[in-house]
Chains A and B, each alone.
Chain A
Amino acid sequence: MYDRSGTAEHEDARIAADFLAGKSRGLEGLYAAYGTLLFSVARKILENGEDAQDCVHDALLRLWQNSESYRPERGSLRNYLLVCVRNEALTRRRNAARRFRIEERATFAEGPAYEFEVSDHVERDRLRRALGSLPADQRAALELAYFGHLTHVQVAERLGEPLGTIKSRIALALRKLNAALAAPGAGAS
């Protein structure tokens, strides 16, 4: 049996140490290891490659220049950076939507891009099962937040439920997914 998670965690820790120390190899290692996923998340949210580049550039530079904003006890640098890029992309999307109704844009401004397969079929199937086992109201709220890129206020408006109820449903759903991931083969309940 190969220690996949241990290897990845060790590598994440080494990259984080170099990056936080301001070493160029830290930036190089971080971009090499996470660049594709960061860009893909930004592009998925913004539906535009040029905007996604700006988003990843700004998020990475902000962290490079202010690495104290990341605290290792919080979790991995990789996950932190993913959330930074996600929040940056969502801010840009929402700002653009206010100005241009970005949701109605159907085409990319860039040339052809080449998608390859999602990274892990096993994890995807496990998450799908976990999502499928959530109570319908929790799943609906979580899906609108994650896949629909909506704020909790927008989710509440969309579902016609009180804001506090929606916040609880989303949070509870994500905690159940977390528990399902921690227990291989288990679904959420």
Chain B
Amino acid sequence: MSATSDGPGAGRHLGDLAELHALGALEPDERAFVEAHVASCARCGEALGAAEATVAALDEAFVPLVAPPERLGERIAASAGVALVRPLAPQRAVRRSVSPSVRALATAAALAFAVGIGGSALVERNADVREAGRQSAILATIANSHFNHVGFMARTAAAPVGKVLYARDGSWFYVIVDGVTCDCRVIARSAGGERDLGKLQVRGSTATLFVRDVPQPASLELVDATGKVVSAANLRYAAP
């Protein structure tokens, strides 16, 4: 152990202060010392970086994720003085317990899709009757189930926006992805390993995949043609 300091002071290394700083357990004057020191000490900077990575892992594991309000992104962009093509927004969607009103909307959408109400573009594109019948069966399953939905969290900048609707008991999964430009497959990951569920089926600007009989994976991943995970969604199920 090369570090020698137990407290702020010129010419000393950080010692235990690196870990304490990463945890936020220091007083303001000690923090200032740490930041000033690592600006000129690569060794302590490395130790601090390792401690920060460990605390980040704790955060990822133990902090329940809550999506920030939209206005926070707008406020940050305005304060930063940057002109954005799209509003600042985190890519991971908020997961909500499905309320009756949402279920009603889903049901209405499913029925509209199934019978072609409202000039559905998707139905128009799917002129093939057998395909339309298959979609109808899928959406009828969704409309008559208790289900959860969760957004995919992007792992790359080019990741498409998508979400998973899935039965609370894990009996089916419906992956919906917008703006698919990659040749993506869906991988189910669980403690027992991974399973390739198949390739997304592209229809116009939307791609979907409906699967049954997958034993409750912990997560689904979208994997591009090179094998890279472009986004992932974590799933949870109702207690048996």
Contacts and interface: CB of A to CB of B under 8 A. Distances in A.
B51 A174 contact: yes
B209 interface: no
B23 A146 contact: yes
A167 B16 CA distance: 6
Contact of B55 (A60, A69, A82): A82
A117 B234 contact: yes
Given A87-B31, A127-B62, A178-B51, A117 B95 contact: yes
A39 B73 CA distance: 11
B48 A44 contact: no
Interface string B216-234: 0010010100011110001
A152 B92 CA distance: 34
Contacts of A87: 21, 24, 31
A164 interface: yes
B57 A28 contact: no
A168 B16 contact: yes
Contact of B22 (A37, A114, A174): A174
A35 B90 contact: yes
B42 A151 contact: no
Interface string B79-114: 110111010111110111000000000000000000
Contacts of A28: 84, 86, 88
Interface string B53-74: 1111111111111111101110
A30 B153 CA distance: 13
Contacts of B92: 36
Interface in A124-153: 124, 127-128, 142, 145-147, 149-153
Given A4-B155, A11-B157, A35-B73, A124 B55 contact: no
Contacts of A78: 56
B28 interface: yes
B45 A71 contact: yes
A143 B236 CA distance: 27
A146 B61 contact: no
B212 to A, nearest CB: 22
26 contacts: A2-B221, A2-B229, A15-B157, A31-B73, A33-B90, A35-B72, A35-B89, A35-B90, A36-B65, A39-B67, A39-B68, A44-B64, A61-B80, A114-B66, A115-B95, A116-B95, A116-B96, A117-B150, A117-B234, A119-B61, A120-B60, A145-B24, A151-B25, A152-B26, A174-B51, A181-B53
5 cross-chain pairs, A with B, having the tightest CB-CB distances, nearest first: A75-B49, A116-B95, A171-B16, A35-B90, A39-B68
Interface of B: 6, 15-28, 31, 35, 38-39, 42, 45-46, 48-69, 71-73, 75-77, 79-80, 82-84, 86, 88-92, 94-96, 150, 153-157, 187, 191, 194, 218, 221, 223, 227-230, 234-236
